[in-house]
Amino acid sequence: MLEVNDIVTAYGKIEALKGVSLSVPEGQITVLLGPNGAGKTTTLMSVAGLLKPKRGSVTFEGQDITGRQPGTIVQRGIALVPENRLVFPDMNVHDNLKTGAYVRNDNEIESDIESIYERFPRLKERYHQHAGTLSGGEQQMLAVARALMARPKLMLMDEPSLGLAPMIVEEIFRIIHDLNQEGTSIFLVEQNANMALKIAHQFYLLEQGLVTFSGTPGDMDENEVIQRAYLGTTA
Amino acid sequence: MIDFIQNTLDGITIGAGYALLAIGFTLIFGVLRRLNLAYGPSIMIGVFLGTFIYLHFDAGWLPVAIATVIGAILAGIYVERMCFWAIKEGAALASMVSTFAIWMQLEELVTVIFPERTYKFPTLGEMDYLEFAGLEMRAEHLIMLGIAVLMVGLLHVLLYRTRFGLSVRAVSENPAAARFMGINTGRVIFRAFILASAIGGVAGFLLVATDPTVTPKFGLQATFKGLIAMMLGGMGSIPGAIAGGVLLGIVERHMQAEFGAIMRDMAAYALLFLFLIFRPGGIMAQGVAAREAAALRRV
């Protein structure tokens, strides 16, 4: 579904990705693990059109989307749940959801919001509250719901467990699992290797801007995965 | 007592004009997080275009008003392209300094084309004073107040009921998150600039039409009044801009009545200093400044 072919993405002269290739098959959960600074977020940004790769290509459903505008990419069916959630704090929950549907111009947006509320009753209870007043877990839920408003075929998720209590993390992962069961493909970036491997169909290990391993969760000893995901091979 | 109420009433009217200026400032600051000092001078371009139409075609107030708004929009686009689009984000200081340069440029342009010191501007017509319970109000002041209230109402609908408004609010709150939603932030900024310039054009027309002389110093006055009113209210907050504008108008009018015209501007600066020292976030003390402080705490 999503093919990333040998992309190089740089911040000025520093290459954060030094030729990353990976593929996200339709209907699956693909996890990208790796230590801080390995280039995980940069990979997502390069897919979502927020960073332009210097080299290489990104194709989605067989079409080249390298360097396209973020709006075009969302319209094609790729939505992003950003790191740290980034909900709009002074907007109420309802308006936050509407921003997720910004690229759409059909008239089913309000009915989609209703089904979001059925799925996340906590958001319905707080629909008129400013997002900044929600708890961390509720904000994460809102960030996921907001991305769903784009009706994505593929969801990019950047560390959804970051800064959340273990119980909330489990809930978020259950939501991710459910979404996938309903047919949304997931490309998940995580530090929490433990949790991520439980729901992953396949995973990649990214270290210092290069993919150093790819396989299914059973392919590598879990302790080694965890060590490399947190610390990298050099440790 | 009756004088006090009368002065307050007059202050509110002038303050409505300042409030519109401050709203324009705050809209631009909201989406850009950068200060546009050339906002007043670009409104001045509109005012001079209005004067030009008035003097050469003997036009009535409506064509002059339209010309003023168009002139302000065109100058606003010029400022946006030069100081904000061409200079990339992150270089906030470079943008601000360049708006100062454009300010000087626009002022120079006007003094070359219009060499005399003052020019006439149409009034909203010969109108009577309205009297009520010993208070009086110039009819054109009442019109000015009415238009300002109408503008605020329209702006509220635009910001809270339309897709464009949603995108402006999203970019003001978090430009990165707005981009993630597929919002083209550059386009939103450009359109917000046009909107702010149009509001500024209306404010400029109203302020000049109630005091029908035009000078190249109008740009300076508009920038100062708008900037002070915005900072009194709280940067990036529209309710704050309204409150700041009205407060500034009232204080100015009282100071003028008590101590004469010289004290009027002194009072405006003194008020700003008091706020910067004792309530730096402004009356609303939320808006962008407080939000950024809160964001830092969360991280």
Is the pLDDT score of A17 beyond 60? yes
Instruction: Determine, yes or no, domain membership for A107.
Output: no
CATH classification at residue B187: 1.10.3470
Among the partner residues B182, B286, B291, nearest to A102 by beta-carbon distance: B182
Instruction: Determine, yes or no, domain membership for A119.
Output: no
Q: What pLDDT score was predicted for residue A218? A: 82
Instruction: Compute the distance between CA of residue A159 and CA of residue A168 in angstroms, rounded to an integer.
Output: 13
Q: What pLDDT score was predicted for residue A234? A: 57
Q: What pLDDT score was predicted for residue B296? A: 47
Q: Which residues pair with A22 in a beta bridge?
A: A4
Q: What pLDDT score was predicted for residue B133? A: 75
Q: Find, among A140, A9, A141, the residue nearest to A83 by Cα.
A: A140
Tell me how close the Cα of B180 comes to any Cα of chain A, in angstroms: 7
Q: What is the per-residue pLDDT across A66-112, written as a single tens digit (0 to 9) for each? A: 989 999 999 999 999 999 999 999 999 999 999 999 999 899 999 99
Asked if residue B34 lies in contact with residue B96, where contact means CB atoms within 8 angstroms, the answer is yes
Distances (CA, A) of B135 to B2, B8, B77, B250, B258: 7, 11, 42, 16, 18
Q: What is the per-residue pLDDT across B241-299, written as a single tens digit (0 to 9) for each? A: 999 999 999 999 999 988 888 888 888 889 999 988 888 888 876 545 555 555 444 43
* Distance spanning both ends of chain B, measured CA to CA: 52
Which value does ipTM take for this structure?
A: 0.91
Instruction: Determine, yes or no, domain membership for A98.
Output: no
Instruction: Determine, yes or no, domain membership for A112.
Output: no
Tokens read off for B288: 């962008």
Check if B221 contacts A (Cβ < 8 Å): no
Neighboring chain B residues of A75 at a CB cutoff of 8 Å:
182
Q: What pLDDT score was predicted for residue A235? A: 45
CA B266-B272-B277 angle, 5° bins: 125
Which one of A102, A139, A144 would you mutate to disrupt binding with B, by most B Cβ within 10 Å of its Cβ? Answer: A102
Taking an 8 Å cut-off on Cβ atoms, the answer to whether A102 and B180 are in contact is no
Q: Which residues pair with A14 in a beta bridge?
A: A11
Q: What pLDDT score was predicted for residue B237? A: 86
Q: What pLDDT score was predicted for residue A142? A: 96
Q: What pLDDT score was predicted for residue B286? A: 58
pLDDT (mean) for B119-141: 78
Among the partner residues B166, B181, B291, nearest to A90 by beta-carbon distance: B291
More confident residue, B268 or B132: B268
Tokens read off for A65: 């989307």
Instruction: Compute the distance between CA of residue B195 and CA of residue B58 in angstroms, rounded to an integer.
Output: 28
Which one of B164, B166, B180, B184 would you mutate to disrupt binding with A, by most A Cβ within 10 Å of its Cβ? Answer: B180
Instruction: Determine, yes or no, domain membership for A149.
Output: no
Confidence of residue B210 (pLDDT cuts 50, 70, 90): confident
Tell me how close the Cα of B298 comes to any Cα of chain A, in angstroms: 10
Instruction: Determine, yes or no, domain membership for A148.
Output: no
Residue of A nearest to B183 (CA): A71
Is the pLDDT score of B14 beyond 60? yes
Residue of A nearest to B166 (CA): A99
pLDDT (mean) for B198-223: 91
CATH classification at residue A51: 3.40.50.300
More confident residue, A176 or B118: A176
Task: Give the residue numbers in A contacting B (CB under 8 Å), as ranges.
Answer: 48, 50, 69-75, 80, 82, 84, 86-91, 95, 98-100, 102-103, 132, 146, 150
More confident residue, B125 or B103: B103
Instruction: Determine, yes or no, domain membership for A188.
Output: yes
Mean of per-residue pLDDT scores for chain B? 88
Domain containing residue A7: 2-88+154-231
* Residue A138 CB-density burial (10 A; 0-12 exposed, 13-18 middle, 19+ buried): buried
Domain containing residue B181: 2-128+135-298
Neighboring chain A residues of B26 at a CB cutoff of 8 Å:
none
The one-letter code for the residue type at B205 is F
Taking an 8 Å cut-off on Cβ atoms, the answer to whether A80 and B170 are in contact is no
Worst-scoring range by mean pLDDT, A39-43, B34-38, B51-55, B87-91?
B87-91
**Of A77-81, B34-38, B118-122, B217-221, highest mean pLDDT:** A77-81
Check if B296 contacts A (Cβ < 8 Å): no
Q: What is the per-residue pLDDT across A193-234, written as a single tens digit (0 to 9) for each? A: 888 999 999 999 999 999 998 988 888 887 787 778 777 665
Q: What pLDDT score was predicted for residue B292? A: 52
Worst-scoring range by mean pLDDT, A180-194, A221-235, B45-59?
A221-235
Instruction: Compute the distance between CA of residue A169 and CA of residue A185 in angstroms, rounded to an integer.
Output: 20
Q: Report the SS3 class of residue A20.
A: strand
Instruction: Determine, yes or no, domain membership for A147.
Output: no
Q: What are the strands of the beta sheet with A55-60, ordered from one edge?
A: A14-24, A2-11, A55-60, A63-64
Q: What are phi and psi of A123, to 5 degrees?
A: -70, -35
Confidence of residue B58 (pLDDT cuts 50, 70, 90): confident
Instruction: Compute the distance between CA of residue B59 and CA of residue B246 in angstroms, rounded to an integer.
Output: 31
Longest dimension (CA), chain A: 54
Tell me how close the Cα of A49 comes to any Cα of chain B, in angstroms: 9
Per the structure, the count of domains in chain A is 1
Q: What is the per-residue pLDDT across A30-76, written as a single tens digit (0 to 9) for each? A: 999 988 889 999 999 999 999 999 999 999 999 999 989 999 999 99
Q: What pLDDT score was predicted for residue B285? A: 67
Asked if residue B248 lies in contact with residue B229, where contact means CB atoms within 8 angstroms, the answer is yes
Is the pLDDT score of B134 beyond 90? no
Q: What pLDDT score was predicted for residue B236? A: 82
Q: What are phi and psi of B212, to 5 degrees?
A: -75, 50
Worst-scoring range by mean pLDDT, A228-232, B138-142, B146-150?
A228-232
**Of A22-31, A160-169, A186-195, A208-217, highest mean pLDDT:** A22-31
Residue of B nearest to A87 (CA): B177
β pairing state of B135-138 and A78-81: unpaired
Q: What are phi and psi of A127, to 5 degrees?
A: -60, -30
Three-state helix/strand/coil letters over chain B: CHHHHHHHHHHHHHHHHHHHHHHHHHHHHHHHCCCCCCHHHHHHHHHHHHHHHHHHHCCCHHHHHHHHHHHHHHHHHHHHHHHHHCCCCCCHHHHHHHHHHHHHHHHHHHHHHCCCCCEECCCCCCCCEEEECCEEEEHHHHHHHHHHHHHHHHHHHHHHHCHHHHHHHHHHHCHHHHHHCCCCHHHHHHHHHHHHHHHHHHHHHHHHHCCCEECCCHHHHHHHHHHHHHHHHCCCCHHHHHHHHHHHHHHHHHHHHHHCHHHHHHHHHHHHHHHHHHCCCCCCCCHHHHHHHHHHHHC
Taking an 8 Å cut-off on Cβ atoms, the answer to whether B166 and A102 are in contact is yes
Per the structure, the count of domains in chain B is 1
Neighboring chain B residues of A71 at a CB cutoff of 8 Å:
182-184
